[in-house]
Structure 1
Amino acid sequence: MNSAYEPSPDSVEVKTCCSTLYQSDIVRFLLGDSFHPGGIQLTEHLGTLLQLAQGQRMLDIASGQGKSAIALAQRFGCQVQGIEYGAQAVQRATEAAAEAGVAHLVTFQQGDAERLPVAAETFDVVICECAFCTFTDKSTAASEMWRVLKSGGRVGLSDLTRLGDVPEELQSFLAWIACLADAQPVDNYTSYLTQAGLAVDLIEEHNEALYEMVQQIRGKLLGAELLVRLKKLDLPASLDFTQAKSLARAALTAIQMGRFGYIVMSAHKAT
């Protein structure tokens, strides 16, 4: 266990706000069951790249509602442990695993990606989907991935990338939570992993998955606003449609200009 790391008050505030938002009905409405570009199809592609197999142990960091962990256990027969900051998400994920009939393969636990509550050299594979860029201490998170991997173990990462400065309209706190404001250049992700002792094997671009997801969110926002006005849909009053639509438009423009993208990458812990 890593006992040296102590999160700052600001770090705790960001993590708490992020987990609260991702557990909300608003986000579930906008993003559906899978909270990342490419959905379960891209998750299973990542599992194939990592050569997941029956009998292996996998750690899913920032496992959310558990959809990826459950899908990978069903597809590859591996044992999966999910670590998620939000307690409500852990409960929902645990219930979903039971409903899917994979509770014997999949478990979930509340925890911090920057201080994983698991022993060293425990897992064959670690994955983290569309969450690494939201971690406040990325170097520590990468080091924790290295720590919990067995020798020769593999890491799979999918996340948003950026080229150049983040547009001003995407630098708000809401944009941070939406995985945009702290998206990193590809070379930065590589550096975080290599500095932690991991060797990067593969980087793939999947920019089309990000474009499609933002398009879907924009469409749902437009439809939801109309239904709320017609009183046919009840959403929390805290949802600011003007701000949300503005963020979606800005994100879509940035993607079209090549300023944001989406990657899948794999690495391994040297023997």
Structure 2
Amino acid sequence: MTTARPTPEQVKSCCAATYGSDLVAMLLGDAYHPGGMTLTRHLAGLLALTPNDRVLDVAAGRGTTALMLAHEYSVRVDGVDLSATNVALAQGAADAAGVAAQVRFTAGDAERLPYPDAVFDAVVCECAFCTFPDKPAAAAELARVLRPGGRVGLTDVVADPARLPGELTGLTAWVACVADARPIDEYAAILTDAGLRIMHTGRHDAAMRRMIDQIEGRLGVVRMTARARAEALGMNFDRAPAVLAAARAAVADGLLGYGLLVADRPDRPS
């Protein structure tokens, strides 16, 4: 049976509600993406960040990446997130860390970024591009706000969507960054069509396997301590083992994984 494709409004509403809740933090920890801060630092190195660069963190969550970049790379960071709850928590974290003058957060949609043209030296987007319903529009926005010569770095779920099992489709799978994930070459093509030039691509599938193991290990804690809240957000504890098993098998078969891409905005159109 084919699962009905959710509308863009359903996807955005569910993603904002879920990623603005404590449930994601309970399942994933501080970094809401495979590879955690280790992969984020690798991405930052590929972006060749320098002090005082202005960086945009798209789908910034609760600010973990933005705060790390400001502290370790001495850059100025704007974070944008669809969830107003995440924005408030991220700004509170920046205030508590004493970097409020260096890091600021705004509620906004990646497909309509609330920033002028050509203002950022670098843009990062971790484990979120695959959830954007209109990926070409989001890519065009990343390119629009980037200065000529600036770089964009993505880390994201990659998949062969036509071959994913039924357990990895539907609205819940969209929120879990699986249902609309694409092959890494397709992400690269979307960025290229937006006027960006691909500089680096790579797979980090081991990070996906570790995250699946982490979620499996924490499900029992969530069941005991926050079952009602989790179920209100759509968590089905009876189906979760089958979904995780399907995800693990898809990674082993090369149908699901995690990718990294870096592109730049050429000084002149090609």
| TM-score using structure 1 length | 0.91
- Deviation for aligned residue 1:224: 4.1
What does residue 73 of structure 2 align with?
76
**Is residue 92 from structure 1 mapped to residue 92 from structure 2 by the alignment?**
no
Helix, strand or coil at the partner of 2:178: coil
Q: 2:175 aligns with which of 174, 177, 197?
A: 177
Over aligned residues, Cα RMSD in angstroms?
1.4
What does residue 3 of structure 1 align with?
none
Identical pairs, percent: 44
Q: Which amino acid aligns with 1:95?
A: G
Q: Which amino acid aligns with 2:138?
A: A
Q: 1:31 aligns with which of 19, 28, 31?
A: 28
Q: 1:142 aligns with which of 139, 151, 176?
A: 139
Q: How does 1:49-198 map to 2 (within 5 A)?
A: 49-163=46-160, 164-198=162-196
What does residue 217 of structure 1 align with?
215
Q: Aligned partners of 2:240 and 2:104: how far apart in 1?
A: 34
- Assess if the C-alpha contact under 8 Å between 1:221 and 1:245 holds in 2: no
Query: Which deviates further from its counterpart, 215-224 or 203-212?
Result: 215-224
Q: Which amino acid aligns with 1:244?
A: A
Q: Which amino acid aligns with 1:83?
A: V
Query: Which deviates further from its counterpart, 238-247 or 208-217?
Result: 238-247
Q: Which amino acid aligns with 2:164?
A: V
**Is residue 42 from structure 1 mapped to residue 34 from structure 2 by the alignment?**
no
Q: Aligned partners of 1:243 and 1:19: how far apart in 2?
A: 22
- Deviation for aligned residue 1:10: 3.1
Q: Aligned partners of 1:37 and 1:167: how far apart in 2?
A: 21
Helix, strand or coil at the partner of 2:7: helix
Helix, strand or coil at the partner of 1:235: helix
- Assess if the C-alpha contact under 8 Å between 1:56 and 1:78 holds in 2: yes
What does residue 3 of structure 2 align with?
none
Q: 2:247 aligns with which of 251, 261, 269?
A: 251
Q: Aligned partners of 1:204 and 1:174: how far apart in 2?
A: 27
Q: Aligned partners of 2:261 and 2:130: how far apart in 1?
A: 14
Q: Which amino acid aligns with 2:144?
A: R
Consecutive unaligned residues of structure 2, counting only runs of 5 or more, are 1-5
Q: Aligned partners of 1:156 and 1:166: how far apart in 2?
A: 26
Q: Aligned partners of 1:244 and 1:209: how far apart in 2?
A: 20
- Deviation for aligned residue 1:223: 4.6
Aligned length: 257
What does residue 228 of structure 2 align with?
236
Consecutive unaligned residues of structure 1, counting only runs of 5 or more, are 1-8
Q: 1:269 aligns with which of 260, 265, 268?
A: 265
Q: Aligned partners of 1:102 and 1:243: how far apart in 2?
A: 42
- Assess if the C-alpha contact under 8 Å between 2:27 and 2:222 holds in 1: no
- Deviation for aligned residue 1:205: 1.2
Q: Which amino acid aligns with 1:65?
A: R
- Deviation for aligned residue 1:184: 0.2
Cα distance change on mapping 1:171 and 1:110 into 2, 3 Å: same
- Assess if the C-alpha contact under 8 Å between 2:26 and 2:222 holds in 1: no
- Deviation for aligned residue 1:12: 2.4
Q: Which amino acid aligns with 1:259?
A: L
- Assess if the C-alpha contact under 8 Å between 2:20 and 2:84 holds in 1: no
- Residue by residue, what CA displacement relative to the aligned partner does 1:152-187 show, whole Å, maximum 9, x if unpaired? 110000001113522111112101110011110111
Query: Which deviates further from its counterpart, 15-24 or 193-202?
Result: 15-24
Q: 2:13 aligns with which of 6, 16, 20?
A: 16
- Deviation for aligned residue 1:203: 0.6
